[in-house]
């Protein structure tokens, strides 16, 4: 009897590794895409130019009930001062130079800068001349359908 128990435990121990390699809680996955990804942001931006005749390109690359991640690039026209009525916005500048409206002032921004804007706080962005700004935007929680931006000017 003891031999059967030992063999049984060894069997469970050896073959449980395959079970552990799978997501432990598949029922918890509620994101799009539903797998872990690694992005080369610079390559992504190079492969996704602004369409002819437009001033910006924005694409959601990850979304769950808790966060939305958008790769965003623009040039030329300013985004204008605005607030978000339902979400916080976090901005990481990947490439380029421009200005970000922060606490009532337009401040210079460059690659590597990180900007936070809580819900209800005025913010905005503009590029430096003809230079493009490449940014990664994080919205917590995801934007509602149609967005939640309220323009100030």
User: Coil, strand or helix: which one is 115?
Assistant: strand
Q: Compute CA distances 133 → 74, 88, 104, 109, whole Å.
A: 6, 20, 21, 10
Q: Longest C-alpha distance within the chain, in Å?
A: 81
Tell me how far apart the alpha carbons of residues 79 and 32 are, in angstroms, rounded to a whole number. Answer: 27
Cβ-contact 84, 148 below 8 angstroms: yes
**Domain architecture of the chain: domains with CATH:** 41-151 (2.60.120.10)
pLDDT reported for residue 125: 92
Per-residue pLDDT of the chain (153 residues; tens, 9 = 90+): 666 545 454 454 545 554 555 557 787 888 889 888 899 999 999 999 999 999 999 999 999 999 999 999 999 878 889 999 999 999 999 999 999 999 999 999 999 999 999 999 999 999 988 889 999 999 999 999 999 999 987
Q: How far apart are CA 71 and CA 21, in angstroms?
A: 31
In the numeric block, which tokens belong to residue 16? 């449980």
């Amino acid at each position: 009897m003891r031999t059967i128990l030992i063999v049984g435990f060894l069997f469970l121990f050896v073959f449980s590794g395959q079970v552990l390699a799978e997501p432990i809680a598949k029922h918890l996955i509620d994101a799009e895409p539903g797998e872990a990804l690694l992005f080369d942001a610079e390559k992504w931006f190079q492969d996704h130019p602004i369409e002819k005749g437009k001033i910006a390109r924005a694409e959601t690359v990850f979304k769950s009930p808790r966060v939305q991640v958008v790769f965003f690039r623009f040039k030329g026209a300013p985004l204008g001062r605005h607030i978000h009525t339902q979400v916080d916005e976090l901005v990481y500048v990947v490439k380029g130079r421009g200005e970000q409206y922060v606490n009532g002032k337009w401040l210079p921004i460059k690659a590597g800068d990180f900007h936070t804007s809580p819900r209800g706080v005025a913010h905005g962005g503009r590029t430096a001349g003809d230079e493009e700004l490449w940014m990664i935007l994080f919205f917590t929680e995801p934007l509602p359908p149609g967005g939640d931006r309220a323009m100030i000017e």
